[in-house]
Chain A
Amino acid sequence: MADFRKFLREFTDGRVEKAAVLILFAALLISVIAPLIYHSYSDINPLERMQAPSVDHLFGTDHLGRDVFERTMVGTRNSLIIGFSVAIVTTIIGCVLGLVSGFISFGDKIIMRLMDGFMAIPNVLLAIALVALMGSSLLTIIIAISVPEIPRMARIVRSVVVSLKEMPFIDAAVTMGTPQWKILLRHLLPNTVGALSVQATATCASAIMTEAILSFLGAGTPPNIPSWGGIIAESRVFFQIAPWTIGFPGLMLSLLVLSVNVLGDRLREVLDPRVARRRA
């Protein structure tokens, strides 16, 4: 526990990191509360089309007279759900693949060739193609964004496992007759946690970004769920008349991704002994 407190203190000593944690909490709070208090976010109001930001409409209104502030706030939930789900799915699957291919040489050849194949298709293209294939819903989007992220996660876990495999404590475990699954779960898995959590944060940030790109390109979240990329995509034709419809959701998106990235960077510094030593 004392270790954890020290870790927490070290983790939040910078002002930038504190701000990032604060933003993330605010986003979580908004994503829970906004859908409960804003019910009229999809109400069309032709009389108030494309109004500039004002006290009534903090972020202005879009081409259908919908309040951009309310839509943006409600859209927070979508981005967070996708960011977290993709990070979790990618971590679990990437971890299993990485452990197996790092530890069992037979599995290594097959799995790593497969991963190479997936990595040869540009991320965003692979994701759009998968959405085009499966149709667009929250679930298919999470799958489509996870698939291109899994190879990177698997490779990182594999590299940790491969370097650990030669360590004396694994030899000792093998000599003692520890079953393979136990070596994998008890001895190797805990040692990948550092690398995993850093990569998971990066995945979360890039998933939020990819979802916005997919929605922007018209292959993302279905239009009935407000999403930041979707709000931007719907009003891009009117960019010259109503730039706020793009600016505000874009700013929120950047702020969230930035916070996650800052925390990921910090996590890397705290967890990576090489960087930590350099700092000391």
Chain B
Amino acid sequence: MFKYISNRLLASVPIVLFVAVFVFLLSHLAPGDPAALIAGENATPEQISLIRDRLHLDEPLVTQFGYWFSDVLRFDLGNSIFSERPVTELIAARLEPTLVLTTLTIFMTIFLAVPAGVIAAWKVNSTSDRSIMILSVLGFSVPAFLIGYANMYVFALKLGWFPVQGYSALSDGVFGTLRSVALPAFTITLVFWALVARITRAAMIEILQEGYTRTARAKGLSEGKVLFVHALKNAGVPISTVIGVGIAILISGVVVTESVFNIPGIGRLVVDAITQRDFPVVQGTMIFFSVVLIVVNLLVDLSYVLFDPRIRY
């Protein structure tokens, strides 16, 4: 197990390195002087030359990357051009809303998508299967911001069940937080669940034809037990895989939805940074999201042990 984890971590080193090089080049390939770019539009020549010194811009590109990357490894992602605060601090300050939003989304997705997929597989080609599949195609086809505005219009503006926009911090009460992220989480869920429901259905269709399903039925287990205990357990591996793969979709959903619902999370941080051309923040958040993606996929691989005891690391 330990060996597997360390091997996997070693294997992700080149990937992280690639992302780092790419993100580093981002500010250096942009037309113009990187120092001027990082200093922002209203910088004085003194400020620019200060930055040139600090980033070692007069040295070869490889050396520059070395300095920058060793800073990154020490969790120093540079300072924002606008607020002049360290990027790591900015990310940490924005972490809570995004974390709450994604956790709630993943839970809602699993609770909505897995039963839907099971039912669709149980009654293949029935009306309920078809309607679930049509709904899932809709999930792929309707953009998150449209779902977001539709949810806002119905549940916040017309029915008044939820606040229209904004985020209420956990320190002000858990209930308020849940109320403020319920609609955004539901929005991303509607995009995300299609993927999970489809995989669940596909995996369950195969599993329901297996011998052990017949055995479970033959020994007189209730249909619910056959489906949700015996069969579903075997679909655990593909379902957790697709959740891992879907994290990328989830992240783009978070970026869009945080903008729609005005939630001060990391997604908003990126979008604001890009519109303000705040390159250190863009670089920092991209590295952050990539590392999250890599770690989540590692965790997903490790979770296989839970579903399939034959898998050992």
A253 to chain B, nearest CB (A): 6
B306 to chain A, nearest CB (A): 25
In the complex, the answer to whether A120 meets B26 with C-beta atoms within 8 Å is no
In the complex, the answer to whether A114 meets B18 with C-beta atoms within 8 Å is yes
In the complex, the answer to whether A246 meets B149 with C-beta atoms within 8 Å is yes
User: Which of the residues B140, B286, B294 comes within 8 Å of A129, measured between beta carbons?
Assistant: B286
Query: Which residues of chain A (98-139) have a CB below 8 Å from chain B?
Result: 113-114, 116-126, 128-129, 132-133, 135
Query: Which residues of chain B (134-181) have a CB below 8 Å from chain A?
Result: 137-138, 140-146, 149-150, 152-153, 157, 164
In the complex, the answer to whether A258 meets B137 with C-beta atoms within 8 Å is yes
CA distance A223 to B141 in the complex (A): 24
Q: Does A65 contact B (CB under 8 A)?
A: no
In the complex, the answer to whether B252 meets A213 with C-beta atoms within 8 Å is yes
In the complex, the answer to whether A122 meets B252 with C-beta atoms within 8 Å is yes
Tell me if B's interface is mostly helix, strand, loop or mixed: helix
A136 to chain B, nearest CB (A): 11
B99 to chain A, nearest CB (A): 16
B7 to chain A, nearest CB (A): 15
User: Which of the residues B15, B31, B150, B277 comes within 8 Å of A116, measured between beta carbons?
Assistant: B15
Q: How large is the interface on B (under 10, 10 to 19, 20 to 34, 35 or more residues)?
A: 35 or more
CA distance A126 to B283 in the complex (A): 11
User: Which of the residues A118, A122, A229, A250 comes within 8 Å of B149, measured between beta carbons?
Assistant: A250
Closest-by-CB residue of B relative to A239 is B149
In the complex, the answer to whether B294 meets A257 with C-beta atoms within 8 Å is no
User: Which of the residues B141, B153, B251 comes within 8 Å of A205, measured between beta carbons?
Assistant: B141
A39 to chain B, nearest CB (A): 28
Q: Does B256 contact A (CB under 8 A)?
A: yes
In the complex, the answer to whether A113 meets B137 with C-beta atoms within 8 Å is no
In the complex, the answer to whether A261 meets B137 with C-beta atoms within 8 Å is yes
Query: Which residues of chain B (277-295) have a CB below 8 Å from chain A?
Result: 277, 282, 285-286, 289-290, 293-294
Question: Looking at A118, A119, A128, A205, which has the most chain B CB atoms within 10 Å of its CB?
Answer: A128
Kindly list chain A residues whose C-beta atoms are within 8 Å of the C-beta of B251. Answer: 122, 124-125
In the complex, the answer to whether B143 meets A123 with C-beta atoms within 8 Å is no
Q: Does B274 contact A (CB under 8 A)?
A: yes
Q: Does B220 contact A (CB under 8 A)?
A: no
CA distance A240 to B164 in the complex (A): 10
Tell me if A's interface is mostly helix, strand, loop or mixed: helix
Closest-by-CB residue of B relative to A117 is B18
Q: Does B127 contact A (CB under 8 A)?
A: no
Given contacts A117-B15, A117-B22, A120-B19, contact A218 B271 (CB under 8 A): yes
In the complex, the answer to whether A257 meets B141 with C-beta atoms within 8 Å is yes
In the complex, the answer to whether B289 meets A213 with C-beta atoms within 8 Å is no
User: Which of the residues B16, B145, B274 comes within 8 Å of A219, measured between beta carbons?
Assistant: B274
Kindly list chain A residues whose C-beta atoms are within 8 Å of the C-beta of B26. Answer: 129, 133
In the complex, the answer to whether A261 meets B30 with C-beta atoms within 8 Å is no
In the complex, the answer to whether A120 meets B143 with C-beta atoms within 8 Å is no
Q: Does A265 contact B (CB under 8 A)?
A: yes
Interface string of B119-140 (1 = CB under 8 A from A): 0000000000000000001101
Q: Does B196 contact A (CB under 8 A)?
A: no
Q: Does A232 contact B (CB under 8 A)?
A: yes
User: Can you add 13 more A-B contacts, CB < 8 Å, to A236-B260, A239-B149, A247-B150?
Assistant: A117-B22, A120-B16, A120-B293, A121-B22, A132-B282, A205-B140, A213-B144, A218-B271, A229-B143, A236-B149, A250-B145, A253-B143, A262-B137
Interface positions of A (Cβ within 8 A of B):
113-114, 116-126, 128-129, 132-133, 135, 205, 209, 212-213, 216-219, 229, 232, 236, 239-240, 243, 246-247, 250-251, 253-254, 257-258, 261-262, 265
Q: What are 30 A-to-B residue pairs whose CB atoms are below 8 Å? A: A117-B19, A120-B16, A124-B251, A124-B252, A125-B252, A125-B255, A129-B274, A129-B286, A132-B274, A132-B282, A209-B141, A212-B143, A213-B143, A213-B252, A217-B274, A218-B275, A219-B275, A236-B145, A236-B149, A239-B149, A240-B157, A240-B164, A243-B149, A246-B146, A253-B146, A254-B142, A254-B143, A254-B146, A257-B142, A265-B137
